[in-house]
């Protein structure tokens, strides 16, 4: 079992809060598609013949590509990897790029899960975030997606916004429920280093972000989603039973995956590698070698390649397992730790967990360590206390 991720690094413009790698220009699209094609071919052995169960087009804004361009990428993936006929094929889309015709095209080329970046159903929030769509168009896109034949639809919302309050956030969630969708990803607004929003706040040009608002909104989120029968399966993700993102779940289960395109990460079970976060370097006269792509004309990463690689030690794999699984409803399985990594790791984890359990920050049931709903927002800090 394995997954494929394709990073499409283009956006129509840069949203103020964005921390993802993308460029606000399509100028190098042709070169990108050419190098991407080659990268897929050159790394066809990366997953060692493992069957692919999920394909994910992320970005950036994958829906800026034409249906035919996405179809060509998918065909190339089919030609070089063994993709299960029942594979989950997700595409991230922004409302300002969607039309009914486009969505019909996506559905017929094989995309079966759509992730729409709505972020809010209130226009004052959307203006603050410098999104390109309005709430009316966002709803229209969900209607078109259904008409085009998508039933596996998820949307993103952002909470903790200074333009919103508890009531507005609660109404935002009601708008989501009215649409009857099976999945929601909800993220706290974070100030990414060097984002436009961070700079604007530093200069006093826009409203600052208050962490307490995010904690308040998270409480509302957890409560309302549970009332509506959604499973809280990861800090930021909620689904109707059986409708979780199979692709994202595979990251939390340590499934191997290959990532293509600038800034894409890959994992083969023993090592991680990540492509350079630069379209310039990715396409810049890429020269092929058996290990991937190297750059001829400067712009090299430290080791002269277009990706960096790290072989993970057992201790690093333990830390990753703890960090990733603590964020999920599946929790840390002490029996798995013992069998896969050894007794010293399961014992260390259990020992470190005791004070956290006593403080009510962690629970243990049948050999599994979980975070309670309201503690999920603090998962990273709690995980650090369990690290090796
Ligand atoms: S659309 Fe997404 S990736 Fe593009 S700039 Fe906005 S937040 Fe970033």
Boundaries of domain holding 370: 314-386
Which of 251, 279, 299 is at the close of a domain?
A: 251
Verify that 53 and 149 share a domain, yes or no.
yes
**What are the backbone dihedrals phi and psi of residue 225, each rounded to the nearest 5 degrees, phi first?**
-65, -40
**Atom 5 in ligand 1: residue holding the nearest Cα:** 14
pLDDT tens figures, 194-245: 899 999 999 999 988 999 999 999 999 999 999 999 999 999 999 999 999 9
Verify that 111 and 235 share a domain, yes or no.
yes
pLDDT tens figures, 96-107: 999 999 999 999
Helix or strand or coil: residue 83?
strand
Q: Where are the alpha helices (H) located in 133-210, listed in sequence order? A: 135-147, 166-179, 196-202
pTM recorded for the entire structure: 0.93
* Integer Cα distance of 172 and 157 in angstroms: 8
Is residue 274 domain-resident? Answer: no
Which of 216, 251, 286 is at the close of a domain?
A: 251
The count of residues in the chain is 388
What pLDDT sits at residue 373? 82
Split into its structural domains, the chain has a count of 2
9, 10, 19, 20: residue to mutate for ligand 1 pocket, most atoms within 8 A of CB:
20
Which of 203, 235, 251 is at the close of a domain?
A: 251
DSSP 164: -
Report the separation in Å between the CA atom of 57 and the middle of ligand 1, taken as the mean of its atom positions: 14
pLDDT tens figures, 352-364: 999 999 999 999 9
Q: In the chain, what percentage of residues exceed pLDDT 90? A: 87
* Integer Cα distance of 269 and 249 in angstroms: 15
The alpha carbon of 31 is separated from its chain's Cα centroid by a whole number of angstroms, namely: 25
First to last CA, the chain: 28
* Integer Cα distance of 186 and 173 in angstroms: 10
**Atom 8 in ligand 1: residue holding the nearest Cα:** 18
Q: Do the Cβ atoms of 198 and 16 come closer than 8 Å?
A: no
Q: Do the Cβ atoms of 114 and 93 come closer than 8 Å?
A: yes
- Using alpha carbons, list the distances in angstroms from residue 130 to 95, 123, 189: 13, 10, 13
259 CB within 6 A, ligand 1:
no
Is residue 291 domain-resident? Answer: no
* Integer Cα distance of 370 and 362 in angstroms: 6
**Atom 6 in ligand 1: residue holding the nearest Cα:** 15
With a cut of 90, say whether residue 50 has pLDDT above it: yes
Verify that 113 and 213 share a domain, yes or no.
yes
Verify that 324 and 244 share a domain, yes or no.
no
* Integer Cα distance of 165 and 213 in angstroms: 8
Query: 253 forms bridges with which residues in the sheet?
Result: none
Verify that 242 and 320 share a domain, yes or no.
no
Which of 158, 155, 222, 160 lies closest to 184, judged by CA? 155
Count of CA atoms in the C-beta half-sphere (13 A) of 39: 29
pLDDT tens figures, 255-297: 999 999 999 999 998 899 999 999 999 987 454 443 444 443 3
């Amino acid at each position: 079992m394995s997954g494929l991720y394709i990073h499409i690094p283009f956006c129509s413009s840069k949203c103020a809060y964005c921390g993802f790698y993308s460029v606000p220009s399509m100028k190098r699209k042709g070169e990108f598609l050419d190098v991407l094609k080659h990268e897929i071919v050159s790394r066809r052995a990366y997953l060692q013949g493992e069957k692919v169960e999920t394909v994910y087009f992320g970005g950036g804004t994958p829906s800026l590509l034409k249906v035919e361009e996405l179809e060509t990428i998918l065909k190339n993936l089919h030609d070089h990897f063994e993709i299960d006929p029942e594979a989950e094929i997700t595409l991230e889309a922004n409302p300002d790029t969607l039309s009914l015709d486009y969505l019909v095209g996506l559905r017929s080329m094989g995309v079966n899960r759509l992730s729409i970046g709505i972020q809010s159903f209130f226009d004052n929030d959307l203006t603050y975030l410098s999104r390109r769509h309005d709430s009316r168009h966002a709803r229209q896109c969900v209607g078109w997606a259904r008409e085009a034949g998508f039933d596996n639809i998820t949307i993103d919302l952002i909470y903790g916004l200074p333009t919103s309050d508890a009531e507005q956030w609660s109404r935002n969630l009601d708008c989501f429920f009215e649409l009857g969708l099976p999945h929601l990803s909800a993220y706290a607004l974070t100030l990414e280093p060097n984002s436009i929003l961070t700079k604007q706040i530093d200069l006093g040009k826009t409203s600052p972000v208050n962490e307490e608002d995010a904690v308040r909104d998270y409480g509302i989120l957890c409560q309302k989603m549970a009332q509506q029968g959604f499973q809280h399966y990861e800090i930021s993700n909620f689904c109707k039973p059986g409708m979780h993102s199979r692709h994202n779940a595979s990251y939390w289960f340590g499934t191997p995956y290959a990532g293509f395109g600038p800034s894409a990460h890959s994992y083969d079970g023993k090592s991680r590698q990540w492509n350079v976060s630069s379209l310039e370097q990715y396409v810049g006269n890429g020269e092929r070698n058996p290990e991937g792509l190297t750059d001829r004309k400067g712009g090299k990463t430290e080791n002269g390649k277009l990706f960096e690689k790290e072989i993970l030690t057992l201790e690093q794999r333990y830390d990753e397992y703890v960090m990733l699984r603590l964020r999920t409803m599946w929790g840390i399985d002490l029996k798995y730790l013992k069998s896969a990594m050894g007794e010293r790791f399961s014992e260390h984890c259990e020992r470190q967990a005791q004070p956290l359990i006593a403080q009510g920050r962690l629970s243990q049931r049948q050999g599994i360590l979980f975070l309670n709903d309201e503690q999920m927002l603090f998962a990273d800090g709690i995980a650090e206390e369990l690290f090796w």
